[in-house]
Structures are given as structure tokens and as C-alpha cells.
Amino acid sequence: MFSKLCRRIQRRTLSNFQTFVRQKQKQTIVTPNQIYSNTFYRYSLVINQLENTLLNILKRRNTGFSFKTFAVPFVGSLALIGIKANCSGNFDANHLRLLEAVKDKDNTTLERAVELLLKNGADPNLGDDYTHYLMMARERGFNALQVMLAREEEFSDRLNRQSTFQGCTALHYAVLIDDAAIVRALLEAGADPTIENKNGHKPVDYVKSENVSQVLHNAENKFNEVKEAKEAEERRKFPLEQRLKQFIIGQEGAINTVAAAVRRKENGWYDEDHPLVFLFLGSSGIGKTELAKQVATYLHKDPKKAFIRMDMSEYQEKHEVAKFIGSPPGYIGHDEGGQLTKKLTESPKAVVLFDEVDKAHPDVLTIMLQLFDEGRLTDGKGKTVDCKDAIFIMTSNLASEVIAEHALQLRKEADEIDKQKHTGKLRHFRRDEFLGRINEIVYFLPFSRSELSKLVTKELHHWSEQAEKKHNMKLLWDHNVVDILADGYDVHYGARSIKYEVRINLHTNIFIAARYIWKGMTSSLILNL
């Protein structure tokens, strides 16, 4: 396999590369991402003397030659080297040794090549982005037939070239070719054994031999232990409350309540038979949804997969329960499954947001009662989804006026909220057992004057960055502008009213003034807000 590769490189690549560098004294050469092409800059440097040769080149006084290595899955677990060359001298035979000295007389050539690439900074966790030859040709501007032929010729004989290996790392490929030595080398270099490819498979899922399987399982356990220790240390130095306050203005009581409950769950001080359930109460635009998103980001690092949002206003009718868990047998949509059960099957530890839960039909609340009580949900097909490790957050605008009325008292006594004031409002849920499944009822208070000033300033900074980035315009303002815009706050719309106020009073005037400002001009604009 390697002799075939070397002959092809020498035949098609060597002369083109030599001619190219001779003609252009200064040129940056970068290997494109995983396109199997025969162009002059696609070449492989797999040689025993690679390290010494590169060092010799770097020491040459008349040639400024630097190199950067990076791993790309290629011919099994073989990696490519991208060379960034800045040639100020003549291109001579010393450079060609990189290609001419390839040797494949023994089975350790590939192992030494991989070890050398890793030693020189190759990334063992870089994934393969090759999908299909038609897509690759369209994205990169190559001829489709050329890409297909190159794929068939250059892809490893040990692997099925027709399969999709998108997202596979070097560790995936090393496991696929069942090379324990390369697996160990990659793991020692920091390869992540928990990375999943596009099909959701980790390297251990492709194991053939018991030896490689044991190595991967041990590495995965050790990797998870180190990862958990780092995350615990990071949480200790940077508590959840502090993280949440970076993104949410105000709501000290809500942040402290949620953070304390999440911390208890992380440390094992919670009922393992029941999921964690919150009810967020407060007016619109007050930070309820944002807090749920930030909790998902904190727990899972990937909110796209770990944050599920269900708009409960879509479930106001009784028959729409079927959309929630799936249609029963014999009904349309039975094979598709429910919207919630399908997402929970993919991410059983997700943070699930039931937005405006007070609008849902009572039968939907019955389904949620099973979910909160037992930590599982049965779909229309009869399959049970276990989600005891999930976090469920319901939001509601109920009692927002009462909360606003008693905001000052609630702000002073955040830890001793008089829940009796809101009991009548919460009776909308129609059953005490439903309320009994809620771990924490969290109250979101209207913004104070100082918090409104922070909101306005944050919004102004955002648009100032946009103006400078897109229009080369620098915006400045004084405290009077902040005070005037803060006066536009509407307790019923929360932060959205501030954004609206900034958009109406700032954007419109700037757009009008921009017609009278040309490039290079410095002007002072006074807005009568």
C-alpha cells in the first residue's frame, strides 16, 4: 500500500511541486481539508529521517523555511503534513529528500511516521470532513470525477471506500485497521477516546480485538476521571452563580436558588429516582429562558444537543397530546414518534424547557406528571424513555402582576418568599400532586433602576460594536442617554422593551445621519431622544 502511495507521489507530485516552488520564490502552501486530489500541494511526507531533514532545512541560512504539522485521517491512520514555506533561497535537492527518502520495508514505518507527526504538533482529535465525492467537489471547486477517482485510488484498501467516515478521528482509523501500537501512541498524545463521529460512534464501537478493546476502555475511564476532576476544579474556582451573572442581569434570588439546586444534584444530594423540576414565574423578557439556556450550557457544554425547548402554546387542545408523545398504533404519524420523546431519546440528560406551560391542555399536564414523578415517559409505540438525569424547567407568566406588586419585599426577602400570595394563581395547574413534584418555584422580579441602566449600557455596547465592525462608525454616549432610554422600560415586556427603545430611538436617527457622513469624516451627532 505504501509503495503504491510513494510511487504515485513521486510520479505526479514531485515534479509539479519542484517546478512550482522554483517559479515562485515566496509562497504559502497549505494542504486543503481532506480532498483526495492529485494537485501539486497534496503530498505525504512519510519518511524515517523526516525529523532530521526538517531540522537541517530550518538551520539553512539562505532559506527561511518553517513547517506546521496537523493530523488528517488518510490511508488508515496515516496523517498528512501541511508545509508552510517561505522560500527566500534556491530550491535544491535537500528539500526533495522529504519525498525521496520514503521507506516501507518494515511494519513499523507507519508507527514511526505517526509518532513523529504527533511529536511535531499534530492534532490527534482532528476529524475527517469527507462526506461524498459530489459534495466535496461542489464545496471545493474540484471536478467530481477527479475526486471520485482519487478517493478510490488513494483510500486505504483496509477500509470500505464507499462508507462515510465523516467525523472520524485518527483514533477511529487506528481502531478500524486494528493497530494497537498506533492506538497507544495516539492516546499518549492526548487523543480523546470519547469523541463521536457523524454516526454517533466512538472509537471503541469499532473494536475488533480484545487487546485494543481493553486499551480503549482503560483510556476512556481514565480520560473521564481526568475530565471530571478538571471540571470540578473549574467549578470550584468559577461557581455557577458567577457564570450565570455574566449573562443575566439582576435576578439574584433566582440565580442563587437554581445554582444551589444544580449543585446539590452534581454532588449527589438529590433523589435519584426523580428528575430535577423547576417552575419559573415572572413577566415576559425577564430572563427565564436565558437562565435555562445557561444552565444547559454549564452542564453539557453543547446546548444545541442538550437544550430542548417546547412551546406549550402549541399544546392547547386535547388531541395535541399525540404530538407530545406520539400517535397510538393505527393513527397517522405513529411511526414518527412524539416531539418530546424523540428528543429525550437522543439526549436523556438534557435540560428541557416547557415554555408558557400554563397554556397547555390539562391532559398534557397529566403526561408531565408521569414525567416528573417517575423520570420516564412512554411514547405512542409503547417504548419507555428513561430521563431521570434530565432537568425540567417550566416557565409561566402567571402571577407576574402580583410578583411585580410585591417586588420590593421579594427583593429584600429573597430566601423567605411568601408563596401564599400566589397560591390562587398556581391553582391553574388543577392538582396538588402536580405542584408537589416541583422541586423549586423560582420568582423572577422586575428590574430595578440600576439593573435597567446595566441593560441599556449592554445594549448600547452591542450596537456600538456592530456599528464599528460593519460601518466603521464609532458610537459614544453619556449617562443622560442611558437614563432616557431606561425610562422606556415596560414591566410587562421586560428587557424586550429596552431593546425596542434602543432600536427606535438610536437606529433610526443614526440611519438618517449616515446619509450625510462620508468615509474619513469625523462628526459629532447629538440625538434628541
Q: What is the DSSP string of 215-283?
A: HHHHHHHHHHHHHHHHHHHHHHHS-HHHHHHHH--S-HHHHHHHHHHHHHHHTT-S-TTS-EEEEEE--
pLDDT at 317: 84
Report the helix count and the strand count for the chain, using DSSP H and E.
Answer: 25, 9
Which residues have CB under 8 Å from 202's CB, separation 6+? 193, 194, 195, 196, 220
pLDDT at 447: 85
Look-up: residue for cell 407576574? 400
Residues belonging to the chain: 529
pLDDT in tens, 67-124: 333 333 333 333 333 332 233 333 333 322 222 222 233 445 566 666 766 676 677 7
How far apart CA 360 and CA 315 sit, in angstroms, is: 5
pLDDT over threshold 50, residue 360: yes
Residue 339's nearest CA partner among 370, 275, 385, 283 is 385
In whole numbers, what is the pLDDT of the chain averaged over residues? 69
What DSSP state is assigned to residue 340?
H
What pLDDT was estimated at residue 152?
67
- Which three cell numbers mark 283? 413577566
Render pLDDT for 187-236 as a digit per residue (tens, 0 to 9): 888 888 888 888 788 888 888 888 888 888 888 888 888 887 887 777 77
pLDDT in tens, 414-444: 444 444 444 444 555 555 667 778 888 898 8
pLDDT reported for residue 107: 46
Residue 431: predicted pLDDT: 56
- Strand ranges, E, within 391-484: 391-396, 440-443
Q: Tell me the three cell numbers of residue 330.
A: 393505527
Q: Which pLDDT belongs to residue 278?
A: 94
**Predicted pLDDT of residue 79:** 33
| pLDDT per position as a tens digit, 439-491 | 888 988 888 888 888 888 888 888 888 877 777 777 777 778 788 888 888 77
pLDDT tops 70 at residue 266: yes
Query: Which grid coordinates belong to 451?
Result: 439593573
pLDDT level of residue 44 (50, 70, 90 thresholds): very low
DSSP conformation class of 25: S
Confidence of residue 1 (pLDDT cuts 50, 70, 90): very low
Specify the 3-state DSSP secondary structure of 27.
coil
pLDDT of residue 153: 64
- What is the SS3 assignment for 376? strand
Q: What is the predicted pLDDT for the residue at 133?
A: 72
Query: Quick one: pLDDT at residue 2?
Result: 38
Q: How far apart are CA 86 and CA 251, in angstroms?
A: 55
Name all domains of the chain by residue range, CATH numbers in brackets.
2-119 (no CATH), 263-443 (3.40.50.300), 449-514 (no CATH)
Report the percentage of the chain scoring pLDDT > 90: 4
* Residue 43, pLDDT score: 32
User: Of the candidates 209, 120, 104, 118, which has an alpha carbon nearest to the alpha carbon of residue 170?
Assistant: 118
pLDDT at 509 over 70: yes
**Predicted confidence band at 391 (pLDDT cuts at 50, 70, 90)?**
very high
Higher pLDDT, 175 or 54: 175
Alpha-carbon separation of residue 453 from 31, 366, 397, 485 (angstroms): 50, 43, 24, 9
Give the contacts of 504 (CB within 8 A, at least 6 positions apart).
none
For residue 342, what are the contacts with CB-CB under 8 A and spacing of at least 6? 326, 336
pLDDT for residue 202: 86
Cross-strand bridge partners of residue 277: 392
Question: What's the confidence (pLDDT) of residue 405?
Answer: 61
- On whether the pTM is more than 0.85, the answer is no
